[in-house]
Structure 1
Amino acid sequence: MNVTRKNIDDLNAVLTVAVYKSDYTYKVEKMLKEYQKQTELPGFRKGTVPMSTIEKKYGRPLFLDMVNKTIQEDLTKYLQQEKLDLLGNPLPVKNDNINWDAEKIEFDFEIALAPTFDIDLGSIKDLTQYKISADDKMLEDQVARIQKQYGKMIAKDTFEKGNDVSGTFRNEEKAIDAPAQFSLEIFKDEKAVEALFLGKKVGDVVTLNTKGLFEDDHQLMDYLKVSHDDVHGLDINVDFTIEEITESEPAELNQELFDKLFGEGNVSSVEEIKEKIKEDAEKQFETQSNQKFLNDVTEALLKSTKFDLPSEFLKRWIQTVGETPLTPEQAEEEFAKSENGLRYQLIEGRVMSQNNLQLNFQDLKAYTAEMIKKQMAQFGQMNPTDADVDGIVTRVLSNQEEAKRISDQVMSEKMLNLYKEKVSSSVKEVTYQEFIAASYGE
């Protein structure tokens, strides 16, 4: 292995790989002899084609292939031996003046080194961990939704307050032809939309503007079936043709409904239903609260952790990594989009190494087994055997994509626990609406 390194600065270096004829000439000659044995040409029997003809036809491609393999092998060995923490991959330095007949040929490669820095989690101050509670209004609303969901649907001729509708959204310009069924509470301004529907009959058309129609523009994908590229700021009129109007007669809150919802004998009163709803909702809220805390710590780390990146190298590297090479302008744009993500990957890696956060197969198995048990419980399998669970765990983790997804979840949980321990924060109890307002300023 003949590789030397010249450091340009703390983040950039050049590797020079020297390739000697003696390293590969004998290999090329051996392969040419094998080609000679197999080659048939007009006027020559198999194996009798002159070596000069074989060399003329195959010599240069074999030579170049062997040089390339030697370079790649030497580079790989060097990087493994030196344990360099690289950003991107080595970039060959263009050289139009290579003497391919020389005894020694040198090839230069630019590399970018990951920056070195330390993380001080204790320096992050004044963050909030939200404890979200399900208030009485939320519980009442959820009970009402359950009654509506399990109630009797009655067909109506004319739309009145509280009715549901089904029909089709249409817009010729965007080729929208999307069947939908909904209640008006899905819309951002429910009262304004309700005013458009009141008194309408089956067959009537209601025209809605898409701008600000929902709290989240992504809901346009669900109801109008438009692409993700179209939803942001979409400002068009869509016609909704009413095909059915229904009114829900709420289900009676009795033992029959309780058993249907929670299993026979598990719940016997509305108050117990609310307790179940509260328990389930606050588990979901905890997940959202944890994610916000993770996001807040991430943002704080990005602001407080300063280090340089080998930006010019990375822009050149970005030009080369896709199926289609990018222009310098396109690479500049892609780098701007990905810079914060790259910075946090480096920060996260440093947090993990400084705090010895590691992931092992037993962690994955335990986490996956717990996840599977919860899923089985949702379908009434409350006491699965260890053998059944282990079998499913093995199948799940044999899928590389699933194993990667679960690995990310487990490491995220480890990071969350670390941040809760090390980062200065206060706990604040809020309702879900107060949490939304704190999260999104609404």
Structure 2
Amino acid sequence: MNITRKDIDNLNTVLTVEIEKDDYSGKVDKVLSDYRKNANIPGFRKGHVPMGMVKKQFGKAVLVEEVNKILQDSLHKFLTEEKLDILGNPLPKNEAEIDWDSDNYSFQFELGLSPKFDIDLNAKEITHYKIVADEEMVNNQIKRIRKQYGKLVSKNEVETGDEITGTFTSEEKEIEKKSSFSTDDVDGKAQVEKLLGAKVGDTVTLKTKGMFADDHDNQKYFGVSHDDAHGLDIEVTFKIEEVNTREMAELDQELFDKLFGEGVVTSEEELKSKIKEDAENQFAQQGDQKLLNDVIESLIENTKFELPTEFLQRWLATAGESKLSEEEARAEFEKSEKGLRYQLIEGKLRSENKLQVTFEELKDYSKNMIRSQMAQFGQLNPSEEELDSIAARILSNQEEVERLSEQLNANKMLNFFKENAKLKTKEITFDKFIKEAYA
């Protein structure tokens, strides 16, 4: 057996695998001999079927199977030994031309090679947003908390901020739905004005169009279907049955303990500090995700290299369960090209900077995750034996291993980018971050 390589260019090569009779004949004869021992053919005792008959019946199929095994093994060995970094899988080039009645075979395979390229992490300065919870946000959160934990006080007349319970009706859409909402939930000044000053027992007529900011709320409050909820534009009557206002909860130790546990927070200043800290911890994840996305986009944009495009399109045409047309394969390549480019860039960064995830790292990561989850339920000091046992169960599930590996891989890349990419830190409020980062 012999394998030769002919490079077409830097990204495409053809392998020719020559398989001779001596390479496969012994394996074929052994398989046929085993067939003969076990064959049940009418008119012959088991194990006494003439070899000529066995060859006639099974010879060609066994030959093809054994030659293909040698072919696949030799290809794999060659690619490994030559350290060829290929994209996709080898594509048979002369499959239809093989004459299985001859003794020697020559197989050709097209290969798409991974390109060589350099990565410049400093090609573009990336903004790393540090999102802060400003005083207005903290104070608004305190108001929501005080309202949520406050007392519900019944009243007779609707005022701004009150919670109203009543029944919506409409003959046109067969609506008869009891709902509760706050005047703050209602969108549109005209609609709110119809409710303000109304009393328990009153019936007001309202327009559904734009009454709530999100059309999906029409399902919740009017009880209509998902399809009807979108763009619902009818008049409904609303009979007010109950009006309540929230009496704000006092900022006292009882409320602090309800929110954070006994003695964790002991003053209004500590409450503000805690709310700010918790909010900014959550915001940090959003800032990091934005950073990761921006660095990836920059790397794809600024790392220039060619791909074996025609080869990849041909490979995509045959790689799935069903074959694709040339046009479909081209569209599929265009759709996946960015992802492939980053996959190559990320692979190079991981290899050159030893960023691969080890099993021990994965185990430690899963144990930290378990420890954090247990702490939420008051189990603050689990034993190492207990953590090891739970981690072992988690890591025996392949889907969990893939999910945790993906998270840990992303964390490693994020930390690497923070240390090595050209970054500028920008402090910004959450509202401004949303406007600036996702405009």
TM range (shorter): 0.7 to 0.9
> Secondary structure at the residue paired with 1:29?
helix
**Quick one: which amino acid aligns to residue 258 of structure 1?**
F
Provide the residue aligned with 2:130 in structure 1.
131
In terms of Rg, which structure is larger?
2
User: Where in structure 2 are the equivalents of 1:15-414 lying within 5 Å?
Assistant: 15-125=15-125, 127-151=126-150, 161-162=160-161, 190-191=187-188, 195=192, 198=195, 207-208=208-209, 213=214, 236-237=231-232, 247=244, 249=246, 250-414=248-412
Which stretch has the larger CA shift, 347-356 or 111-120? 347-356
Residues 268-303 of structure 1, C-alpha deviation per residue, up to 9 Å, x if partnerless? 233322221111111111111111111111111111
Distance in 2 (CA, whole Å) between partners of 1:54 and 1:326 is: 40
Distance in 1 (CA, whole Å) between partners of 2:286 and 2:30 is: 65
Distance in 2 (CA, whole Å) between partners of 1:78 and 1:310 is: 21
Shift of 1:400: 2.4
Unaligned runs of 5+ in 2: 169-177
Residues 204-246 of structure 1, C-alpha deviation per residue, up to 9 Å, x if partnerless? 99645799838xx9x999999999xx9xxx9654889989988
Shift of 1:77: 1.1
Distance in 1 (CA, whole Å) between partners of 2:93 and 2:381 is: 63
Shift of 1:157: 10
Shift of 1:14: 1.0
Does 1:9 find its partner at 2:6? no
Which stretch has the larger CA shift, 158-167 or 127-136? 158-167
Instruction: Give yes or no for contact 1:90–1:110 (8 Å, CA) kept in 2.
Output: yes
> Secondary structure at the residue paired with 1:123?
coil
Instruction: Give yes or no for contact 1:165–1:183 (8 Å, CA) kept in 2.
Output: yes
Shift of 1:5: 1.3
Residues 302-358 of structure 1, C-alpha deviation per residue, up to 9 Å, x if partnerless? 111110011111111112222222222221111111111111111112222333334
Instruction: Give yes or no for contact 2:117–2:305 (8 Å, CA) kept in 1.
Output: yes
Pairwise CA RMSD: 4.0
Instruction: Give yes or no for contact 2:195–2:204 (8 Å, CA) kept in 1.
Output: no
Provide the residue aligned with 1:174 in structure 2.
none
Instruction: Give yes or no for contact 1:210–1:238 (8 Å, CA) kept in 2.
Output: no
Which stretch has the larger CA shift, 374-383 or 284-293? 374-383
**Quick one: which amino acid aligns to residue 16 of structure 2?**
T
Provide the residue aligned with 1:172 in structure 2.
none
Residues 92-122 of structure 1, C-alpha deviation per residue, up to 9 Å, x if partnerless? 1144332212221011111111110011213
**Quick one: which amino acid aligns to residue 31 of structure 1?**
V
Distance in 2 (CA, whole Å) between partners of 1:375 and 1:29 is: 61
> Secondary structure at the residue paired with 2:97?
coil
**Quick one: which amino acid aligns to residue 124 of structure 2?**
I
Instruction: Give yes or no for contact 1:128–1:427 (8 Å, CA) kept in 2.
Output: yes
Instruction: Give yes or no for contact 1:89–1:111 (8 Å, CA) kept in 2.
Output: yes
Shift of 1:56: 2.3
**Quick one: which amino acid aligns to residue 131 of structure 2?**
I
**Could you state the TM-score of these two structures normalised by the residue count of structure 2?**
0.82
Distance in 1 (CA, whole Å) between partners of 2:408 and 2:225 is: 34
Which stretch has the larger CA shift, 335-344 or 411-420? 411-420
Which stretch has the larger CA shift, 272-281 or 411-420? 411-420
Distance 1:10 1:388, change over 3 A: same
Aligned residues: 422
The alignment-based identity, stated in percent, is 48
Distance in 1 (CA, whole Å) between partners of 2:58 and 2:205 is: 76
Distance 1:377 1:156, change over 3 A: farther
Distance 1:377 1:369, change over 3 A: same
Which stretch has the larger CA shift, 394-403 or 9-18? 394-403
Which stretch has the larger CA shift, 388-397 or 75-84? 388-397
Distance in 1 (CA, whole Å) between partners of 2:129 and 2:138 is: 19
Which stretch has the larger CA shift, 74-83 or 193-202? 193-202
Distance in 1 (CA, whole Å) between partners of 2:160 and 2:233 is: 22
Instruction: Give yes or no for contact 1:159–1:197 (8 Å, CA) kept in 2.
Output: no
Distance 1:262 1:235, change over 3 A: closer
Instruction: Give yes or no for contact 1:157–1:202 (8 Å, CA) kept in 2.
Output: no
> Secondary structure at the residue paired with 1:122?
coil
Instruction: Give yes or no for contact 2:12–2:308 (8 Å, CA) kept in 1.
Output: yes
